[in-house]
């Protein structure tokens, strides 16, 4: 269907088959509300219910909302889980506190999406000392000791940045192209890696120049604010490269408020491919989106079950990502899950 855009998809690891099965099985799953901390309070440790403490980054983006929903819809009592879920509001200290609380509660498994890459060693050592396995989802840690966690499932963010950069280089850079970059949260794996990937893919093209680069913290509001600043400082911006859709959507607002046409006067390339972003792409306000699949719940459930069963799990499981131009977005939108 999107054959021209799927060439670089991949999913590695021995769990690939199980993961794909789980994703398919989840499609018709429960949609009955899903609330926050599922199954708390019945302290029964009944049978083989797996108690999971999950520390989420926050609620900063459409991607995050879809990711949270996927996890809450999958780690249900019906599927054999007792999920304790907390939202860290993009603060590392809140995540460390949540993980310590899960250790104190003696959960069976801790899973989390680390807001930033650094600074996790001591709390992960505490989990290990307590005999509680840890699974990383979505974002990586930079710990040198990879025995501190069982498995890390998430996209290849460097590849996403490269895919964006390659498309820009091939499609928009026949002449001088002045790029402004809206970076994700400072210190977060996807911000670091997407920047690296984009830079390496565009470095060989002498027409492409990144004239400004600043964090918009993966939110629409900050994306808009930073773009307003870019527009005040530069009257020669040709392209916005935003590390996620939400910041790109914020940039659209700033560009329109400045009396220009997003997607034409200033081109926009983003990463995520959530519905709002895809709609803007279909409308011609965004020019290209590299996907980052947030539906990690089913794979996470399989990994956790394997860990508890004492089965070997892959240390790194890479999630597949597509990419979309306007035509592909129009085709995909009617059946888009997130
Ligand atoms: O791209 C962004 C979110 O970690 C991959 O976090 C995730 C990123 C995603 O805020 O929208």
Position 3 scores a pLDDT of 30
Place of tokens 């460097």: 158
Annotate 274-296 with b (16+ C-beta within 10 A) or e (fewer): bbbbbbbbbeebbbbbbbbbbbb
* Residues β-bridged to residue 112: 55, 136
> d(Cα 331, Cα 280) in Å, to the nearest integer?
14
Residue 131 has pLDDT above 70, yes or no: yes
Interval between CA 68 and ligand 1 midpoint (Å):
12
Residue 6 has pLDDT above 80, yes or no: no
Q: How far is CA 157 from the centre of its chain?
A: 9
Residue 10 has pLDDT above 90, yes or no: no
3-class secondary structure, 321: coil
- Mean pLDDT over residues 308-312, rounded? 97
Which of 61, 116, 139, 152 for mutating ligand 1's site (highest number of atoms within 8 Å of CB)?
61
308 token code pair: 């508890």
Q: Determine the distance separating the centroid of ligand 1 and the alpha carbon of 41, expressed in angstroms.
A: 31
Nearest ligand 1 atom, CA 294: 5
pLDDT of residue 43: 38
Task: Please tell me the distance between residue 48's alpha carbon and the centre of ligand 1 in angstroms.
Answer: 33
Region of 189 (left: φ > 0; alpha: ψ -120 to 50; beta: rest) is alpha
Q: Cα of 245 to ligand 1 centre, how many Å? A: 9
In the predicted structure, residue 4 carries a pLDDT above the cut 80: no
Mean pLDDT of 315-337: 96
Q: What residues flank ligand 1, with Cβ below 6 Å?
A: 60-61, 63-64, 138-139, 190, 218, 244, 246, 271-272, 292
Q: Is the pLDDT of residue 278 over 60?
A: yes
Using the mean position of ligand 1's atoms as its centre, give its distance from the Cα of residue 310 in Å: 31
Confidence check: pLDDT of 23 > 50: no
Domains along the sequence of the chain with CATH: 50-154+294-321 (3.40.50.2300), 157-292+327-335 (3.40.50.2300)
Quick one: what percent of the chain has pLDDT higher than 90? 86
Query: Which atom of ligand 1 approaches the CA of 62 most closely?
Result: 11
Average pLDDT over residues 242-261: 98
Question: What is the best residue among 89, 184, 192 to mutate for testing ligand 1's pocket, by most ligand atoms within 8 Å of CB?
Answer: 184
What are the φ and ψ backbone dihedral angles of 272, each rounded to 5 degrees?
135, -60
Q: How far is the CA of 304 from the centre of ligand 1 (A)?
A: 22
Per the CB < 8 A criterion, the answer to whether 318 and 312 are in contact is no
Give 243: exposed, middle or buried? Use CB within 10 Å, 0-12, 13-18, 19+: buried
* Contact status, residue 222 vs residue 190, Cβ threshold 8 Å: no
Laid out side by side, the sheet with 316-319 consists of: 81-87, 50-56, 109-112, 134-137, 151-155, 316-319
Q: Which atom of ligand 1 is nearest to the CA of 154?
A: 5
Residue 265's CB is within 10 A of a number of other CB atoms, namely: 12
Q: What is the pLDDT of residue 45?
A: 45
How far is Cα 302 from Cα 299, in angstroms, rounded to an integer?
A: 5
CA distance 52 to 293: 22
227 alpha carbon – ligand 1 mean position (Å): 19
Looking at the predicted structure, is the pLDDT value of residue 317 above 60?
yes
pLDDT at 125 over 60: yes
On the CB side of 188, CA atoms within 13 Å amount to 24
Ligand 1 mutation target, pool 244, 289, 296, 318, most atoms within 8 A of CB: 244
Q: Which band of pLDDT confidence, cut at 50, 70 and 90, is reported for residue 5? A: very low
Per-residue pLDDT tens for 258-273?
999 999 999 999 999 9
**Residue 273's pLDDT is what?**
98
**Residue-wise pLDDT tens digits, 167-196:** 999 999 999 999 999 999 999 999 999 999
Pocket probe for ligand 1: among 88, 91, 190, the residue whose CB has the most ligand atoms within 8 Å is 190
Residue 29 in this model has a pLDDT that exceeds 80: no
Which run of H or E residues covers position 55? strand 50-56
User: Is 38's pLDDT higher than 80?
Assistant: no
pLDDT number for residue 288? 98
Reported as a pLDDT band with limits 50, 70 and 90, residue 47 is low
Measured in Å, residue 29 CA sits from the centre of ligand 1 at 24
> Please, are residues 294 and 244 in contact by the beta-carbon 8 Å criterion?
no
Residue among 153, 250, 272 to mutate when testing ligand 1 (max atoms within 8 A of CB) = 272
User: What pLDDT is attached to residue 24?
Assistant: 33
């Amino acid at each position: 269907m999107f054959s021209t855009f799927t060439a670089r998809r991949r999913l590695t690891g021995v769990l690939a088959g199980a993961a794909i099965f789980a994703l398919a099985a989840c499609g018709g799953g429960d949609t009955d509300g899903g609330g926050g901390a599922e199954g708390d309070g019945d302290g029964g440790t009944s049978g083989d219910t797996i108690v999971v403490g999950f520390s989420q980054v926050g609620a900063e983006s459409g991607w995050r909302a879809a990711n949270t929903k996927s996890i809450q819809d999958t780690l249900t009592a019906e599927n054999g889980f007792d999920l304790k879920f907390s939202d860290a509001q993009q603060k590392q200290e809140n995540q460390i506190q949540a993980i310590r609380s899960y250790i104190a509660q003696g959960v069976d498994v801790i899973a989390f999406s680390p807001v930033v890459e650094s600074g996790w060693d001591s709390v992960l050592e505490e989990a290990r000392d307590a005999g509680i396995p840890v699974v990383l989802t979505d974002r990586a840690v930079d710990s040198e000791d990879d025995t501190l966690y069982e498995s890390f499932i998430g996209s290849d963010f460097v590849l996403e940045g490269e895919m964006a950069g390659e498309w820009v280089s091939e499609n928009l850079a026949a002449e001088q192209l002045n790029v402004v970059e809206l970076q994700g949260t400072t210190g977060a794996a996807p911000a670091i890696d997407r920047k690296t990937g984009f830079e390496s893919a565009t470095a060989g093209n002498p027409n492409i120049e990144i004239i400004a680069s600043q964090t918009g913290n993966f939110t629409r509001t900050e994306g808009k604010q930073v773009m307003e600043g870019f527009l005040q400082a530069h009257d020669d911006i040709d392209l916005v490269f935003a590390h996620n859709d939400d910041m790109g959507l914020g940039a659209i607002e700033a560009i329109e408020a400045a009396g220009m046409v997003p997607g034409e006067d200033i081109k926009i390339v983003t990463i995520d491919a959530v519905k709002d972003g895809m709609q803007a792409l279909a409308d011609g306000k965004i020019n290209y989106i590299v996907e980052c699949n947030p539906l990690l719940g089913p794979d996470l459930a399989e990994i956790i079950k394997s860990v508890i069963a004492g089965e070997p799990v892959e240390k790194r499981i890479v999630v597949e990502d597509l990419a979309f131009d306007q035509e592909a977005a129009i085709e995909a939108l009617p059946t888009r899950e997130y």
